[in-house]
């Protein structure tokens, strides 16, 4: 499996030149993600990364060289894939702009660290032959799994997302999930490495064709035989108003935005609607405690229909509790999905709510909590204080709707997050209310939308997505948008609620099984090659 020709300068370059090459390769690899989905480029870049790591394994300071190759590739990948975070600082105000560069660079370094550790582990072993491919696949899979779970996790742009959600290649997520597709991407990159850098090219080429063709064929057949049915007596109205996030900090403009939402909500056809859905970000602050807002919505609906629809909105929710020792009152704020009902006269009532568990660090809370708040460290949100996380994520029963899993904003990017308790009825759909206006006209909202479609494929559940300045629409259980509004559009969608599939093979246990398989593979590679480097032999009699 040695290279057919001496390593090229691309593979051998060290120092800042080598770092620049790694940075460029990682940035190019992001073109596989939404909205471009140039996934062959991602595979090529990963195969070159493998070649650079194999060369690093022969370097004098191989661990350092391997860490550098993995880290700088990852740094380019994550910086190019999350550049849109800078828009949130700009939208928040001039005082936040100075802290934007260090915060974005720090995030890129933290995420790239996982890839650096994987590269260092690979190069440290000096693995050869097929084992080198297994080591690359398992180490980098474990790096991505760790990135998606440790310290709350940030599984944004996992390699498995390079296949457009709802299309043929993405349908394999119904079996293996996005982590299974991430493993699949590393396998394809390893096969491509053999084609590009080894003497025996025919066999890996055939295996690569079969691997891609098999997944594509499965997905094509699954979509071809898709059968979508719809819930009876449910008609949803999704409302989207385009706005600039910075306008939400101007009281007059913020009120005008809310009025536009109200006007669109009661536009012709509302008398046939059973539920109106607003996205996160439509209203600032404690909307469910605003009698003026709730009464205004009730009055508008009562003028148009004798049976006002249920209103699903996103709001902050306030609770007070005594400190367990001092008795001092502590105020907690939650990001919540709420259901508001109205009687025939338009009188509102809060019928149900469901709080967010996965919060955005420095966006919704400050690591360090109340102590950091005492130091006046600001959060990048419309809230003045840190938001509290729900102690557990529960499913919800909103009036007039099948049981659902509300997943607010980026909760939707976590594979296996949908609760399926054994002692209760499983959810029949997912509600995703998001505020993508923070990220302007960048690729961020499109990446977010693509990841949401994967949750539908994995769980076999439809997703109703209301996203401010993102993609709002109806996603069926196959991850296909049946109707949608683009980020630059204001409007409404009146649509039926798709019903769930009976089941999919995927479950959170599939993710754990993939983790176990790759842990054992990495352990085997480490044990076999680690033992070979001992200065003495161990035989079976000792």
pLDDT at 134 over 60: yes
| Residue that wins the pLDDT comparison between 320 and 119 | 119
CA distance 221 to 227: 12
Verdict on whether the full-model pTM lies above 0.75? yes
Q: Is 334 in contact with 287 (CB distance < 8 Å)?
A: no
Q: What percent of the chain has pLDDT over 90?
A: 78
Residue 275, helix vs strand vs coil = strand
Whether residue 377 is contained in a domain is answered as yes
Shared-domain flag, residues 188 and 281: no
Whether residue 541 is contained in a domain is answered as no
Least confident of 166-175, 277-286, 373-382, 518-527: 373-382
For residue range 295-305, list pLDDT tens digits in order: 999 999 999 99
Tokens of 170: 């993405």
Q: What angle do CA 8, 12, 14 make, to 5 degrees?
A: 145
CA distance 45 to 68: 16
| Residue that wins the pLDDT comparison between 513 and 370 | 513
Whether residue 537 is contained in a domain is answered as no
Q: Give the DSSP H/E element, type plus range, for residue 64.
A: helix 62-81
Which range in 88-102, 233-247, 522-536 is most confidently predicted, on average pLDDT? 233-247
- Tell how far CA 181 is from the center of its chain: 14
pLDDT at 533 over 60: no
pLDDT at 478 over 60: yes
For residue range 311-370, list pLDDT tens digits in order: 999 999 999 888 777 888 888 899 999 999 999 999 999 999 999 999 887 677 666 555
Q: Is 77 in contact with 145 (CB distance < 8 Å)?
A: no
Shared-domain flag, residues 289 and 309: yes
Whether residue 503 is contained in a domain is answered as no
Confidence of residue 23 (pLDDT cuts 50, 70, 90): very high
What confidence score (pLDDT) does residue 537 get? 46
Least confident of 149-153, 482-486, 491-495: 149-153
- From residue 430, alpha-carbon distances to 61, 154, 360, 462 in Å are 50, 20, 20, 6
Question: Total domain count for the chain?
Answer: 2
| Residue that wins the pLDDT comparison between 322 and 480 | 480
Confidence of residue 27 (pLDDT cuts 50, 70, 90): very high
Shared-domain flag, residues 136 and 237: no
Q: Is 261 in contact with 241 (CB distance < 8 Å)?
A: yes
Q: Is 487 in contact with 444 (CB distance < 8 Å)?
A: no
Shared-domain flag, residues 292 and 431: yes
Residue 361, helix vs strand vs coil = strand
Shared-domain flag, residues 294 and 353: yes
Residue with tokens 């949130």: 88
Beta strand segments in 134-251, E? 230-240
What confidence score (pLDDT) does residue 1 get? 42
For residue range 395-444, list pLDDT tens digits in order: 999 999 999 999 999 999 999 999 999 889 999 999 999 999 999 899 99
Q: Is the peptide bond before 250 cis (omega within 30 degrees of 0)?
A: no
What confidence score (pLDDT) does residue 507 get? 94
Domain that holds residue 450: 231-498
- Segment 485-493 mean pLDDT: 96
What confidence score (pLDDT) does residue 362 get? 67
Shared-domain flag, residues 327 and 381: yes
List the one residue out of 136, 146, 168 whose CA is nearest residue 37: 168
List the one residue out of 506, 482, 418, 430 whose CA is nearest residue 461: 430
For residue range 154-192, list pLDDT tens digits in order: 999 999 999 999 999 999 999 999 999 999 999 999 999
Shared-domain flag, residues 367 and 406: yes
Whether residue 538 is contained in a domain is answered as no
Average pLDDT, the chain: 91
Which letter does DSSP use for residue 1 in this model?
-
Q: What percent of the chain has pLDDT over 70?
A: 92
Shared-domain flag, residues 216 and 241: no
- Segment 131-159 mean pLDDT: 96
| Residue that wins the pLDDT comparison between 89 and 175 | 175
Whether residue 433 is contained in a domain is answered as yes
Shared-domain flag, residues 119 and 202: yes
What confidence score (pLDDT) does residue 89 get? 83
Residue with tokens 């025939």: 344
What confidence score (pLDDT) does residue 538 get? 40
Confidence of residue 131 (pLDDT cuts 50, 70, 90): very high
Shared-domain flag, residues 274 and 330: yes
pLDDT at 502 over 50: yes
Which letter does DSSP use for residue 306 in this model?
S
CA distance 73 to 192: 18
pLDDT at 235 over 90: yes
What confidence score (pLDDT) does residue 88 get? 85
CATH assignment at residue 469: 3.60.110.10
Residue with tokens 């995420």: 111
What confidence score (pLDDT) does residue 532 get? 53
- Segment 506-522 mean pLDDT: 97
What confidence score (pLDDT) does residue 379 get? 56
Shared-domain flag, residues 484 and 419: yes
List the one residue out of 56, 114, 21, 85 whose CA is nearest residue 360: 85
Tokens of 127: 């693995």
pLDDT at 9 over 90: no
For residue range 260-273, list pLDDT tens digits in order: 999 999 999 999 99
Helix/strand/coil (H, E, C) string of 159-189? HHHHCCCCCHHHHHHHHHHHHHHHHHHHHHH
Whether residue 542 is contained in a domain is answered as no
Shared-domain flag, residues 133 and 194: yes
Whether residue 2 is contained in a domain is answered as no
pLDDT at 5 over 50: no
């Amino acid at each position: 499996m040695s290279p057919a020709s001496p390593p090229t300068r691309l593979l051998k370059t060290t120092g800042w030149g080598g770092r620049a090459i790694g940075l460029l390769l990682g940035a190019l690899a992001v073109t596989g993600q939404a909205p471009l989905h140039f996934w062959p480029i991602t595979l090529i870049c990963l195969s070159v990364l493998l070649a650079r790591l194999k060369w690093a394994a022969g370097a004098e300071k191989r661990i350092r060289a391997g860490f550098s190759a993995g880290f700088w590739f990852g740094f380019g990948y994550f910086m190019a894939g999350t550049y849109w975070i800078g828009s949130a600082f700009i939208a928040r105000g001039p005082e936040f702009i100075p802290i934007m560069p260090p915060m974005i660079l720090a995030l890129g370094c933290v995420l790239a660290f996982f890839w650096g550790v994987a590269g260092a582990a690979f190069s440290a072993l000096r693995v050869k032959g097929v084992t080198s491919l297994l080591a690359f696949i398992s180490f980098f899979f474990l790096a991505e799994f760790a990135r998606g779970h440790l310290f709350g996790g940030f599984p944004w742009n996992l390699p498995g997302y390079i296949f457009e959600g709802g299309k043929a290649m993405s349908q394999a997520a119904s079996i293996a999930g996005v982590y299974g597709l991430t493993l699949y991407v590393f396998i394809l990159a390893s096969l491509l490495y053999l084609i590009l850098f080894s003497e025996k090219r025919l066999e890996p080429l055939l295996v690569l064709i079969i691997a891609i063709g098999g997944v594509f064929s499965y997905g094509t057949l699954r979509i071809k035989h898709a059968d979508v049915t719809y819930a009876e007596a449910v008609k949803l109205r999704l409302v989207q108003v385009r706005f600039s996030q910075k306008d939400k900090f101007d009281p007059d403009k913020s009120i005008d935005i809310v009025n536009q939402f109200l006007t669109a909500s009661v536009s012709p056809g509302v008398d046939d609607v059973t539920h109106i859905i607003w996205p996160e970000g439509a209203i600032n602050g404690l909307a469910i405690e605003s009698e003026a807002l709730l009464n205004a919505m009730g009055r508008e609906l009562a003028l148009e229909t004798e049976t006002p629809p249920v209103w699903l909105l996103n709001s902050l929710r306030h609770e007070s509790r005594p400190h367990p020792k001092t008795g001092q009152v502590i105020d907690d704020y939650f990001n919540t999905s709420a259901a508001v009902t109205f009687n025939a006269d338009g009188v509102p009532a809060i019928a149900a709510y469901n709080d967010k568990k996965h919060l955005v660090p420095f966006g919704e809370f400050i690591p360090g909590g109340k102590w950091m708040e005492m130091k006046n460290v600001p959060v990048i949100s419309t809230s003045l204080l840190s938001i509290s996380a729900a102690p557990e994520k529960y499913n919800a029963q909103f009036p007039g709707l099948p049981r659902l899993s509300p997943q607010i904003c980026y909760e939707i990017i976590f594979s296996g997050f949908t609760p399926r308790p054994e002692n209760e009825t499983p959810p029949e759909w997912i509600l995703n209310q998001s505020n993508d206006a923070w990220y302007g006209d960048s690729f961020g909202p499109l990446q977010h939308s693509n990841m949401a479609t994967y949750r539908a494929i994995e769980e076999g559940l439809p997703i109703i997505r209301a996203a401010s300045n993102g993609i709002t629409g109806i996603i069926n259980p196959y991850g296909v948008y049946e109707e949608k509004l683009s980020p630059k559009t204001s409007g409404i969608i009146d649509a039926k609620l798709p019903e769930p599939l009976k089941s999919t093979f995927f479950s959170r246990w599939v993710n754990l099984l993939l983790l176990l398989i790759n842990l054992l593979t990495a352990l085997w590679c480490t044990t076999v090659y680690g033992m070979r480097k001992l200065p003495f032999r161990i035989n079976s009699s000792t």
